[in-house]
Structure 1
Amino acid sequence: MADVRPRSLIPRTRLDELLSELRVRLDAVLATRDRVHALLDAVVAVGRDLDLETVLRRIVETAATLAGARYGALGLVEGGTLARFLPTGLTEDEIAAVEHWPHGLGLLGLLIKEPRPLRLPRIAGHPESYGFPPGHPPMGAFLGVPIRVRGELFGNLYLTEKRGGGPFEEEDEAVVVALATAAGVAIENARMYEETRAREAWLCASAEVTTSLLSGSDPRDVLTLLARRAREMAGADVAAVLLPVAGGERLRVVIADGVALEDIAAAEIAVDGSLSGRAFSGGEPVVVTGLDESEIPAVVSGRMRIGPAIAVPLGATGAVRGVLSLGRRSGRVPFDPGHARMLGSFAGQAAIALELAEAREDAERLGLLEDRDRIAKDLRDVVIQRLFAVAMTLMSTIRLVDDPEAASRLRHAVTDLDITIDHIRTTVFALHSPPEPPAPSLTLRLPTPAHPRA
């Protein structure tokens, strides 16, 4: 009897083990199913919007949720560095405490140079770890996944601090990689939509400027409209139109639009070495991602910290008449190549405005000369001849007048006619002389700046 009970327990023990293993496998299957459903929902949510800013925010938030990360960020890559950093999971106080966002050095720079998934149990344990910026909260586990758009690196997803502790798992990496693939498509769709919408806005603004040009508006009004529309369309904080002075060695702000205008109104800057001067001399747009971190002088900076900036020549190479310069506050997104193309076309409108203004002034001067010639001809051929004939008639009449007083009056009248003829001849000579110099140009009519910039 003693051997019966253990034998009866063996099948039950094995059955319990099998049931326990089955339960674990079922839980894993259910968890995988739930995760797949969550991934599908995330893909749909990411591609639902066409606003690029909303899409980018949703991507990083969704990635952090799927991977169970406490912190997440999307770093946008441009020119081999991080041009923008979109964090999630940080409180407002934590964000305010961070001195500056990463620039793409160390571990983050490795993902830019070698864009492939990277999973680490501890950030500090990697040899490329560069540390954190001052004020940045400490972070341990790390998962980085690149996002590509049309085969080109657009940015990287950075996820840290796995909820519940521990490192990120292989499944976390697979889910985030799948999300990054869908995110690339969503970003491309949002960019195409924004480009189409921006192109329509640029066309409307160009049509408005063209209408102003054809209506014969004052050049200053046209340039003011152009600067305002360019700033609005490009999302800039400040815009300025600069024209050459001092024999083309300096540029002066003739039109300013945006914020902190008191710093740049009528300001001057040297052509040599400046942002606007490079566009003026080279005849090509010049784009700077961080003006505040460079040593390039620019009038659009003033006392306001300007980061992204762009200067576009007014006119083609060899016939540049001025520069359209725009700037954004430090920390904002840089100007992209699309802005340079659109602004280049828009700046051509300003060049046309200046050309039309000069042509209109030339036509007015030519019309004035023609009127002077016609008036001089009429005075010489008609008026003087008639006055001379009247004077001759009066002189012949004097001999027929016996009254001395009447004869004296006739002689006085003849003298007055002779003086009048001399005055008319002087007027005719003046009309044939070159006209007065034209009024000062738009640039020369501006006040001299109190503090010229070098």
Structure 2
Amino acid sequence: MGGDEQGAVRSGLPRLRLDELLEELQVRIDEVRGTRDRLNGLLEAVMSVGRELDLPQVLRGIVEAAVVLVDAEYGALGVIGDDQKLAQFLPVGISDDLRAEIGDLPSGHGILGELIRHPEALRLSELSDHPASYGFPAHHPPMHSFLGVPIRVREDVFGNLYMTEKRGGIDFDEEDEAVLSTLAVAAGIAIENARLYEEVRLRERWLTASSDFTSALLSGLAETEVLEGMLERARDITGADIGVFYLVGQGGELRGSLALGDGAEAHRGIVLPSSAGTLAAAALGEEDGLITVADVGTEVRITVQPERWKGFGPAVAVTVGTKEKLNGVLILARRCGRPAFARAEIAALPGFAGQAALALELADRRRDTEQMSMLEDHDRIAR
């Protein structure tokens, strides 16, 4: 999105809960009894996270500001998923090489899970002394002092800030807790604004894709070429690693007509039952024609050729059709370890699929009309 477009969206965003934020910040700043430099640092951090609208950049900025404000050697921001586990974990202070040696990022055990279960500030002199302490994996640097606070977006807990190892070998104190809690309030507002911006941006991208798809079909382009473009746009908008489109055959079977991305060859040309045993069949069984799964590679409902989905995790499937005719099923999936499809990312997917179905129906009618016209011309010439 260009600068002008981004500026237009930015100006249209409401300043969410501004009065409430200012009141809350005033109360919390009063609790910070530190130096003018520290107060200035806090206010600058609050302003900084509020200026950004790109959500990944917002999250990274929050945790980087937090580490500086409380003088922590290590910090992280954990985003809580729908399953109450960590869907994202953004660490600061650990090198990429060391992160690779440690292995998988945490999912929410131990102290990290304690804050998920009990979303309130937690300050510890020694991590290992807490009953919920889970220990550290191999190669993990030693950590002792700890400070964690929740980040709320309106009434919902979005995630937590985790700070460890106060520099100088001392403990985090009440003032550190007040500073971090103040930043968390501002972070909640910034995240809400960034989410709203992302929803507007995604909605615009889906609408543009639907319009382009319809125009391409009605312009006379080959249907396969147009469907391939539709699949690629859906992959691009959702960040999916693979996209598959199954057409419904004359006998009701599902035929893998198009597949793009990683492992696409395993899906091309295969014929699957529409009754059960596949992700596409599961989508057909849903009232709204939409289904999401956390791990398509281990999904119990996929019993027909499940090896096709080996190495993939989050997936979404949506039916493409009208009340009169079912055209097929669109499936998008990401590799294992990638985040699940967020509600905002796929909220417009059923509408996109519905527009695609209408466009296909219009193209069919146009072809029928053209064929009828040709037949009438032949009859007229024959007479």
Tell me if 1:339 matches 2:342.
Answer: no
Instruction: Return the letter of the residue paired with 2:232.
Output: R
2:266 and 2:139 map into 1 onto residues whose CA distance is 33
| Structure 2: 5+ residue stretches without partners | 1-31
Give the Å deviation of 1:102: 1.4
Residues 48, 361 of structure 1: CA spacing in aligned structure 2 closer, same or farther, 3 A cutoff? closer
Tell me if 1:182 matches 2:172.
Answer: no
Name the residue aligned to 1:258: 261
Name the residue aligned to 2:39: 36
1:65 to 61, 68, 83: 68
Name the residue aligned to 1:287: 292
Tell me if 1:172 matches 2:166.
Answer: no
Give the Å deviation of 1:197: 2.1
2:48 to 45, 48, 55: 45
1:86 and 1:293 map into 2 onto residues whose CA distance is 26
Name the residue aligned to 1:352: 358
Give the Å deviation of 1:353: 3.7
Moved more, 303-312 or 198-207: 303-312
1:269 and 1:132 map into 2 onto residues whose CA distance is 45
Instruction: Return the letter of the residue paired with 2:38.
Output: R
Q: Map residues 66-105 of structure 1 onto 2, 5 A cutoff.
A: 66-79=69-82, 80-105=84-109
Give the Å deviation of 1:296: 5.2
1:357-403 Cα deviation digits (max 9, x unpaired): 44345445655665676677x4xxxxxxxxxxxxxxxxxxxxxxxxx
Identity of aligned residues (%): 49
Conserved 8 A contact 2:295-2:336: yes
Instruction: Return the letter of the residue paired with 1:255.
Output: L
Instruction: Return the letter of the residue paired with 2:352.
Output: F
Q: Map residues 202-351 of structure 1 onto 2, 5 A cutoff.
A: 202-245=206-249, 247-248=251-252, 250-271=253-274, 272-282=276-286, 283-292=288-297, 294-295=299-300, 297=302, 302=308, 305-316=311-322, 319-351=325-357
Moved more, 358-367 or 310-319: 358-367
Give the Å deviation of 1:334: 1.9
Secondary structure in 2 aligned to 1:255? strand
Name the residue aligned to 1:8: none
Secondary structure in 1 aligned to 2:75? strand
Secondary structure in 2 aligned to 1:153? strand
Q: Map residues 190-205 of structure 1 onto 2, 5 A cutoff.
A: 190-205=194-209
1:286 and 1:87 map into 2 onto residues whose CA distance is 32
Give the Å deviation of 1:182: 0.5
Give the Å deviation of 1:117: 0.7
Conserved 8 A contact 1:104-1:112: yes
1:149-196 Cα deviation digits (max 9, x unpaired): 122111111111121213211111111000000111111122222222
Instruction: Return the letter of the residue paired with 2:291.
Output: V
RMSD: 2.7
Give the Å deviation of 1:252: 2.2
Q: Map residues 131-146 of structure 1 onto 2, 5 A cutoff.
A: 131-146=135-150
Residues 329, 173 of structure 1: CA spacing in aligned structure 2 closer, same or farther, 3 A cutoff? same
2:339 and 2:67 map into 1 onto residues whose CA distance is 23
Secondary structure in 1 aligned to 2:73? strand
Give the Å deviation of 1:245: 3.8
Secondary structure in 2 aligned to 1:348? helix
Higher helix share: 1
Residues 44, 100 of structure 1: CA spacing in aligned structure 2 closer, same or farther, 3 A cutoff? same
Q: Which one scores higher on RCO, CA 8 angstroms, separation ≥ 6?
A: 2
Secondary structure in 1 aligned to 2:247? strand
Give the Å deviation of 1:260: 3.6
Conserved 8 A contact 1:301-1:327: no
TM-score, normalised on structure 1?
0.70
1:162 and 1:276 map into 2 onto residues whose CA distance is 51
1:89-119 Cα deviation digits (max 9, x unpaired): 1011211012211112332222112211111
1:268 and 1:307 map into 2 onto residues whose CA distance is 22
Instruction: Return the letter of the residue paired with 2:327.
Output: R
Q: Map residues 411-450 of structure 1 onto 2, 5 A cutoff.
A: none
1:47 and 1:122 map into 2 onto residues whose CA distance is 33
Secondary structure in 2 aligned to 1:247? coil
Conserved 8 A contact 2:214-2:356: no
1:231 and 1:115 map into 2 onto residues whose CA distance is 35
Secondary structure in 2 aligned to 1:34? helix
Instruction: Return the letter of the residue paired with 1:310.
Output: V
Secondary structure in 2 aligned to 1:239? strand
